[in-house]
Chains A and B, each alone.
Chain A
Amino acid sequence: MNALEVSNISKRFGNFFAVKDLTFEISEGSIYGLLGPNGAGKTTTLRMVMNIIMPDSGEIKVLGQKMDERMKARIGYLPEDRGLYPKMKVGEILLFLAEIKGVRGERAKKKIDLWLDRFSLSEWKQKKVEELSKGMQQKIQFIVTVIHEPEIIILDEPFGGLDPVNTKLIKDIMMEMEKKGHTIIFSTHRMEQVEMICDKICLINKAEKVLEGGLADIKKEYGKNTVILDYDGNGSFIKEFPGIEKIDDYGKFMEIKMKEKADPQGLLETLVGKIQVNKFEVREPTLNAIFIDKVGEKDAEDTVSH
């Protein structure tokens, strides 16, 4: 059974299409990445999946049933625009948000203590939310998302504003949840995370789907014509080498896209002696490169840079 089936959904705000005829499905127990530049329609799509806004047309099925209010209890949702009631105590707000997900009484209290302990926040339980640091509030947010043990977990930009330690913590829990059979859907515009975590992705741009499939399949389709070069020295001469289609130079790191029949070995020979080569790898393109290729450099500039 599919955890989520989205068929031909569209949403218009005035004359502007936020989502246009979008279709994708997610099999149970997988980690699915919804990618796209800012304003592509990711958040609108997830809001429609959550029944927070209604699609103008199309259908959404969750766990085999048409999405409705009752299904909300089986999904955990971490919105991109997220926050907590600043004046409430940590224990109270967790209890309230657990209650409206249908977890009540002693069961809710037990779970709250368990999760607070896991994130080492137990001594903050009686403190007001506004007294917590930003990172602690993010952890509380995450607890809220999973406290009712939902079958599907939807995370909209889950790592936005997180430091590396908390990012790892959240990532570890995501992997653990996947092992337990939960389905995880997350949206992001940071490709390196997607490469590490996702099984399948869907790339949307300007309200429409441009790419969908398993991560490995997509990369294979792009072929092994990319050179990853880790170097020291002045590498500006490389662009003169015949058979190079495109270079992404980061100063000490270069992603070089070769033309169809070009010879990577020849390139390596040219490099030796002129610069110090720390690593030379012929492989599929990074997801980042595919993303830029599909979305177009101009569109992606403001997205990928941060």
Chain B
Amino acid sequence: MRKILSVIKREYIQIVRTKGFIIGTVLGPVLMASFIVVPVLMSVISVDKQETIGVVDLSERVFTGLENKLDMKLKDGQRRYLLTEYKVRRDVDGLREELNRKVLSDELTAYLIIPENISEGGTAKYYSRNVSDFDKLRSINEAVNSVVIEKRLNKEGLNPSKIAEYLKRIRWKNNKVTKRGVEEDTGGTFIIAYFLVLILYMTLFFYGSIIMRGVIEEKTSRVVEVVLSSLKPFQLMIGKLLGIAAVGFTQYTIWALFGLAASKYGGRLVSGIFPQAQAFKMPSMPAYIFVYFVVFFILGYFLYGTLYAAIGSVVNSEKEAQQLLFPISMFLIVPILLIMFVMRSPSSSVSVILSLVPFFAPILMLLRISILLPPFIQVAGSIVLMILMILLMVWLVSKIYRVGILMYGKRPNMKEIIKWVRYS
């Protein structure tokens, strides 16, 4: 046990002293701060310029209304969108060609063709070089839509001055029901869940590669046999895993302190620097989510850490390791791809099963916990399954590790590795 402690101490001190750790620890909060500051900045400093949009109004009834609706202003008071109407002289196709040229020469940002039967279900067509600017597309679409709806209502004989009132959107608020009561949600749940899972994902990757690089360094520097003349391969492996886990703990503690300070003073700080920004409310995180976050980090760390240690032990260089890393990366990337699915239906049986799979659990179960706390039995189940898997991995990997770290030269194939496990 004292030998393992010596190994832990060595790993911890050596890594905490590296530039990578110091930079990462400082950069973490900077990144966190930028998550808060950048969206606020974006809303304050808009990069929008005036844009000209051509309108071919075949119905002859939309243009004027559209010009009134699409009246957003830029900061200097000018119109955001300048609308220019084009009339068809000979045929629509000829006009379209002319407008296409104008779009390509940036004279127009876009043009819009409104068919004659727009009120009766005809399709309005939007042409632009960029059709991915969702914000712009939505506001133009909304404007055309409401102009046409107003026209229809008008036709039915409704009082035109009241139409705006009739079309007014309802007000809506999301409320989250938890065991502690009901709380209003302003999108915080989504942000927190996404944020936590992303941190977990990045740190699992990060610490995994530190473990792997450590093992490779011991091999390439040929120090491993010197160390093994004093202790067992298993002690070296466990000491390394625990030492680097302690590094992770240190980093998380520092980040948590930053986070605490940010949630307490962050809002005030932001509105102090940018008085234009509306009173910014920091999403708050319930303590139990943080506890689970730490638990799932620890379990995920050992689950993936053993895998990284195994890879480090069978290769001769980091370059060689890259090919073997692919399957591990898949284990980490698959749950990230499933985030949207699980967020939409966190309690569906597919989500439940996926979040119980040990290698997916750190990310998916944590995600479910932060969206809506699943039944305790599921959370406990995933934790138990992960612990069992970790024990299995430690047993398996220690067998690969003890042979691998003394092997130089050709990288063993899967068949040989299985043989190592069976022999020793």
B228 interface residue per 8 A CB criterion: yes
User: CB within 8 Å of A: which of B207-228?
Assistant: 217-218, 221-223, 225-228
- Tell me the bound Cα distance from A88 to B225 in angstroms: 17
A87 interface residue per 8 A CB criterion: yes
A202 interface residue per 8 A CB criterion: no
**The stretch of B116-124, B229-237, B393-401 that contacts the partner chain:** B229-237
A73 interface residue per 8 A CB criterion: yes
Q: Is A52 in contact with B6, judged by CB distance below 8 angstroms?
A: no
Majority-rule SS of B interface residues: helix
Q: Is A82 in contact with B6, judged by CB distance below 8 angstroms?
A: no
Q: Is B406 in contact with A52, judged by CB distance below 8 angstroms?
A: yes
B408 interface residue per 8 A CB criterion: yes
Residues of A within 8 A of B226 (CB): 77, 79, 82-84, 97, 141, 144
Total A-B Cβ pairs within 8 A: 69
B14 interface residue per 8 A CB criterion: yes
Q: Is B230 in contact with A72, judged by CB distance below 8 angstroms?
A: yes
B10 interface residue per 8 A CB criterion: yes
Q: Which of A69, A75, A83, A100 has the most CB of B within 10 A?
A: A100
Residues of A within 8 A of B406 (CB): 47, 52-53
Provided the pairs A52-B406, A53-B406, A72-B230 are in contact, do residues A100 and B223 lie with their beta carbons within 8 angstroms? Answer: no
Provided the pairs A84-B221, A144-B226 are in contact, do residues A69 and B14 lie with their beta carbons within 8 angstroms? Answer: no
Q: Is B225 in contact with A52, judged by CB distance below 8 angstroms?
A: yes
Q: Is A85 in contact with B230, judged by CB distance below 8 angstroms?
A: no
Q: Is A85 in contact with B225, judged by CB distance below 8 angstroms?
A: no
Interface size class of B (residues with CB under 8 A): 20 to 34
A299 interface residue per 8 A CB criterion: no
Q: Is B221 in contact with A85, judged by CB distance below 8 angstroms?
A: yes
B73 interface residue per 8 A CB criterion: no
Q: Is B221 in contact with A83, judged by CB distance below 8 angstroms?
A: yes
One digit per residue, 1 when the CB lies within 8 angstroms of any chain B CB and 0 when it does not, for chain A 116-159 equals: 00000000000000000000000001001000000000000000
- Tell me the bound Cα distance from A86 to B219 in angstroms: 12
A50 interface residue per 8 A CB criterion: yes
Q: Is A96 in contact with B10, judged by CB distance below 8 angstroms?
A: yes
Provided the pairs A52-B406, A81-B408 are in contact, do residues A86 and B221 lie with their beta carbons within 8 angstroms? Answer: yes
Task: A79-B225, A86-B217 given; name 19 further pairs at CB < 8 Å.
Answer: A52-B229, A69-B231, A72-B231, A77-B226, A79-B222, A79-B226, A82-B222, A83-B221, A84-B221, A85-B223, A88-B14, A96-B10, A97-B226, A97-B227, A99-B6, A100-B3, A100-B7, A100-B230, A102-B2
Interchain Cβ contacts under 8 Å between A and B, 18 examples: A47-B406, A50-B228, A72-B230, A72-B231, A77-B229, A79-B226, A82-B223, A82-B226, A83-B221, A83-B223, A84-B226, A85-B217, A85-B221, A86-B217, A97-B227, A97-B230, A100-B227, A144-B226
